[in-house]
Chains A and B, each alone.
Chain A
Amino acid sequence: ATWRYAFEEAMDEVQGKYAQKFKEEVEANSDHTIQLFPFGTLGESADIMEQAQAGILQFVDQSPGFTGALIPEAQVFFVPYLLPQDQETLNTFFRNSKAINEMFPELYAEQGLELLKMFPEGEVCMTTQEPVHSPADLEDVKFRVMTNPLLVESYKAFGATPTPLPWGEVYGALQTGIIQGQENPGFFLESTKMYEVTEVVTCIGHNNFTTAVMANKDFYDGLSEEDQKVIQNASDAAFDYILDYQKNLQEESLKKIKEAKPSMEINTLSEEERKPFMETADEVEAAFIEMTGESGKKILEQMKADLKSASQSQ
């Protein structure tokens, strides 16, 4: 059969790479073919999600940040400094976390979705016009964030003025100065040319952009055991591939930025400099629990426990 798979990024970005690997694996190990639909070709994130729920699409990649409207608990990935800043620990966490591999699949199932994989896409860094070394440097900076209450909370806590703006207007708004900053994972800063209209990249280790691939649940449950196995194996293979692909992606993306624009200042803040940013995490955590109640609290606690064991296993 022909299966359809839509994602939120372009073909050459992380979600596209994952999808291509998944497609390759499924087609190599079965008679099925997969058609890929990159960003925008079938609508925005919320559209492709609904189409997957309706069964028009068999697979969809939607980042939990966008899933917040459907599954509020998914916003836990926006709590700053929750995810480990070290890549190896992060990978171990994603492989073994009970919250990710047991609790979230139940929440997604309630929405008619079979959660196949969650994986990190890279550390989120800020691009701004002036160097940022402390929250004081973000004062009076109009900072573009996605329309997500928790992200707005975060940047308020960091001292900036969060300014929600549709993605299509961000480049122009940075160029003309309506906003002075925005955040995204490294590869995305490179591919979307954010460095052309800003001067400084600052990485403070507050977040690693997480995304999730799922299948329509009725479709998945209706498959033969053999086909389900093919999909699971393809997911695992694509997961290993994408973690490997990402090993040096952040550094390479930042290097490419530096090559394209030598005047770009790229700063990674020291432990000492990160402290005042890290201290704001509690505030945002509290906001998360207020928004999601008991169930959110449970997920948050489980994630913390998982993280602890992930860092101990290193």
Chain B
Amino acid sequence: MATTIFGVMIVLLLLGFPMMIPLIIGAFIGFYSLFGGFGQLETMIQQMLAGIRPASLIAVPMFIFAADIMTRGQSANRLIDLVMTFVGHVKGGLAVSTAAACTMFGAVSGSTQATVVAIGGPLRPRMLKAGYNDSFVLALIVNASDIAFLIPPSIGMIIYGVVSNTSISELFIAGVGPGILILLLFSGYSMIYAIRNNVPTEPKASWGERLRATQRALWPLGFPVIIIGGIYGGIFSPTEAAAACVLYALILEMIVFRSIDLKALYETAKSTGLITAVVFILVAAGAAFSWVISFAQIPQAILGAVGVAEMGQIGVLFVISIAFFVGCMFVDPIVVILVLVPIFAPVVQSVGIDPVLVGVIITLQVAIGSATPPFGCDIFTAIAVFKRPYIEVIRGTPPFILILLCVSVALIFFPQIALFLRDLAFGK
């Protein structure tokens, strides 16, 4: 059954069917072969609705909405102008700033999709104007957003911690090292890219210009304060911070700057709704498909045939990495964690690997999976928001995926990348 489903899905995908159709047809085939007919398809509807049920998903349309308002108005540009006065003269400076902003925003907001919109939305046009190639820009935005999985708070780590009975605090700290390492490598690649493609720089800004830019950005600087201060300061949950951003954006753009009127607000809400819908219908269809895979116990069947237990630590870590990487290519990461972690737990214990290390490796695979074709939520978001063809969005991905895979391998051979900070903090 698994072979048929994956085969049909890939063909439909390549032929150019709307992305929801391969997932829906995959689920239909699954239901048909599991229950000998279509009698139980109401459960497919149930699971589609379950896919868009999590309350934390509300942060996505809210951050999209806030970002859309800021971009149509003046806030976004004033913020970027400020950043440019500091990094505009450095080769690759804008790209590095974009990567850092994506990482930071993604980490705090807890939503990589929202990051693609909120940071990618305003920064992409600036990068294009600065002379970066679009395929590089899109890949940078999608991949840098996914670093956020590794930096707390991380929902993937929380779920792994609960399922595997591992300290969530230790996981959180252990994710920071690899997260920063990846950001540094992305930054390095960005600078090399800028030098090799000779992306022009701007003349260095004077301190007077920087001061003026800061003054212009004074109001919009409230956004990072609300998001970073609000969430780490314990004032807002990510969803609430998103709502606070919407409120603040409305106050700035409609009252202070007067750059948006009610008609524009209506249009913005409509386009936010449209982007939300085309991404969420894929989340919904993906949930139904994930249910089929889980119910048919396909991962158990595949892994049972492999014989992991005799492989030793390195072997087990490789199998785990590959299993999660492949799983997240097709199935919702949360479901992958819930299904696979209990299967691997006894093996991890018997060969004596630190479960915190396993958690970080798994989270990294989840991050890679969300940015990797064919099914990646952040790819979908980028397509919906930027209205670029699928192939264009993933064209620039390979170097980033390569970096991520190198870090995965490095983590297996040098666990201290993750465990160093943990050992320091917990005195181990």
Taking beta carbons and an 8 Å cutoff, which residues of A are in contact with B?
A: 4, 10-12, 35, 37-44, 47, 50-51, 54, 56, 165-166, 168-169, 171-173, 175-178, 191-193, 196-197, 260
- Contact B43 A192, beta carbon cutoff 8 Å: no
- Contact A169 B294, beta carbon cutoff 8 Å: no
The CA-CA distance from A118 to B100 in the complex, in Å, is: 52
The CA-CA distance from A180 to B50 in the complex, in Å, is: 29
User: Provided the pairs A166-B56, A168-B158, A196-B168 are in contact, do residues A175 and B153 lie with their beta carbons within 8 angstroms?
Assistant: yes
The CA-CA distance from A116 to B111 in the complex, in Å, is: 41
In the assembled complex, which residues on chain A have CB atoms less than 8 Å from the CB atom of B267? Answer: none
Provide the B32-43 mask, 1 if CB < 8 A to any CB of A, else 0.
000100001011
- What are 20 residue pairs bridging A and B, where the CB atoms are less than 8 Å apart in the complex? A10-B163, A37-B295, A39-B163, A40-B159, A40-B334, A40-B335, A41-B339, A47-B46, A54-B42, A169-B56, A172-B158, A172-B237, A175-B234, A176-B231, A178-B236, A178-B237, A192-B162, A193-B161, A196-B167, A197-B169
- Excluding A10-B342, A39-B338, A175-B234, 20 further A-B contacts by CB distance (< 8 Å) are A10-B163, A38-B342, A40-B335, A41-B335, A43-B47, A43-B291, A51-B46, A54-B42, A56-B40, A168-B54, A168-B56, A168-B155, A168-B159, A169-B55, A176-B234, A176-B237, A178-B237, A178-B240, A191-B165, A193-B169
In the assembled complex, which residues on chain A have CB atoms less than 8 Å from the CB atom of B197? Answer: none
The CA-CA distance from A197 to B158 in the complex, in Å, is: 12
- Contact B232 A176, beta carbon cutoff 8 Å: yes
The CA-CA distance from A81 to B234 in the complex, in Å, is: 33
- Contact B234 A178, beta carbon cutoff 8 Å: yes
Distance from B367 Cβ to chain A, minimum over Cβ atoms (Å): 18
Q: Does B297 contact A (CB under 8 A)?
A: yes
- Contact A10 B167, beta carbon cutoff 8 Å: no
Q: Does B224 contact A (CB under 8 A)?
A: no
User: Provided the pairs A176-B234, A193-B162 are in contact, do residues A50 and B46 lie with their beta carbons within 8 angstroms?
Assistant: yes
Closest to A180 in B: B234
In the assembled complex, which residues on chain B have CB atoms less than 8 Å from the CB atom of A56? Answer: 35, 40, 43, 295
Provide the B342-368 mask, 1 if CB < 8 A to any CB of A, else 0.
100000000000000000000000000
Distance from A281 Cβ to chain B, minimum over Cβ atoms (Å): 31
With most chain B CB atoms within 10 A of its CB, the pick from A11, A47, A191 is A47
Q: Which of A169, A178, A193 contacts B167 (CB 8 A)?
A: A193
In the assembled complex, which residues on chain B have CB atoms less than 8 Å from the CB atom of A178? Answer: 234-237, 240
Distance from B157 Cβ to chain A, minimum over Cβ atoms (Å): 10
Q: Does B233 contact A (CB under 8 A)?
A: yes
Provide the B61-76 mask, 1 if CB < 8 A to any CB of A, else 0.
0000000000000000
- Contact A37 B42, beta carbon cutoff 8 Å: no
In the assembled complex, which residues on chain A have CB atoms less than 8 Å from the CB atom of B231? Answer: 176
The CA-CA distance from A228 to B415 in the complex, in Å, is: 52
The CA-CA distance from A192 to B158 in the complex, in Å, is: 9
User: Provided the pairs A11-B342, A40-B338 are in contact, do residues A35 and B40 lie with their beta carbons within 8 angstroms?
Assistant: no
In the assembled complex, which residues on chain A have CB atoms less than 8 Å from the CB atom of B54? Answer: 166, 168
The CA-CA distance from A177 to B55 in the complex, in Å, is: 19
Distance from A219 Cβ to chain B, minimum over Cβ atoms (Å): 14
Taking beta carbons and an 8 Å cutoff, which residues of B are in contact with A?
A: 35, 40, 42-43, 46-47, 50, 53-56, 110, 153, 155, 158-159, 161-163, 165, 167-169, 231-237, 240, 291, 294-295, 297, 334-335, 338-339, 342
The CA-CA distance from A186 to B326 in the complex, in Å, is: 37
With most chain A CB atoms within 10 A of its CB, the pick from B334, B335, B342 is B342
- Contact B50 A171, beta carbon cutoff 8 Å: no
Distance from B335 Cβ to chain A, minimum over Cβ atoms (Å): 7
7 closest A-B pairs by beta carbon, nearest first, are: A177-B234, A176-B234, A40-B338, A166-B55, A172-B153, A196-B169, A193-B168
- Contact A51 B43, beta carbon cutoff 8 Å: yes
Q: Which of B50, B158, B338 contacts A47 (CB 8 A)?
A: B50
The CA-CA distance from A191 to B342 in the complex, in Å, is: 14
The CA-CA distance from A75 to B48 in the complex, in Å, is: 28
The CA-CA distance from A42 to B297 in the complex, in Å, is: 11
In the assembled complex, which residues on chain A have CB atoms less than 8 Å from the CB atom of B50? Answer: 43-44, 47
Distance from B303 Cβ to chain A, minimum over Cβ atoms (Å): 15
In the assembled complex, which residues on chain B have CB atoms less than 8 Å from the CB atom of A193? Answer: 161-162, 167-169
Distance from B170 Cβ to chain A, minimum over Cβ atoms (Å): 9
With most chain A CB atoms within 10 A of its CB, the pick from B53, B163, B291 is B163
Closest to B231 in A: A176
With most chain B CB atoms within 10 A of its CB, the pick from A4, A10, A39, A260 is A10
In the assembled complex, which residues on chain B have CB atoms less than 8 Å from the CB atom of A43? Answer: 46-47, 50, 291
In the assembled complex, which residues on chain A have CB atoms less than 8 Å from the CB atom of B159? Answer: 40, 168
- Contact B42 A42, beta carbon cutoff 8 Å: no
The CA-CA distance from A178 to B233 in the complex, in Å, is: 9
Closest to A4 in B: B295
Closest to B297 in A: A35
Closest to B161 in A: A193
Distance from B56 Cβ to chain A, minimum over Cβ atoms (Å): 6
With most chain B CB atoms within 10 A of its CB, the pick from A11, A12, A39, A176 is A176
Closest to B236 in A: A178
The CA-CA distance from A10 to B345 in the complex, in Å, is: 12
In the assembled complex, which residues on chain A have CB atoms less than 8 Å from the CB atom of B46? Answer: 43, 47, 50-51
Q: Which of A10, A50, A171 contacts B168 (CB 8 A)?
A: A171
In the assembled complex, which residues on chain A have CB atoms less than 8 Å from the CB atom of B56? Answer: 166, 168-169
In the assembled complex, which residues on chain B have CB atoms less than 8 Å from the CB atom of A37? Answer: 294-295
The CA-CA distance from A44 to B159 in the complex, in Å, is: 14
- Contact A54 B161, beta carbon cutoff 8 Å: no
With most chain A CB atoms within 10 A of its CB, the pick from B35, B46, B56, B155 is B46
In the assembled complex, which residues on chain B have CB atoms less than 8 Å from the CB atom of A41? Answer: 294, 335, 338-339
- Contact A191 B162, beta carbon cutoff 8 Å: yes
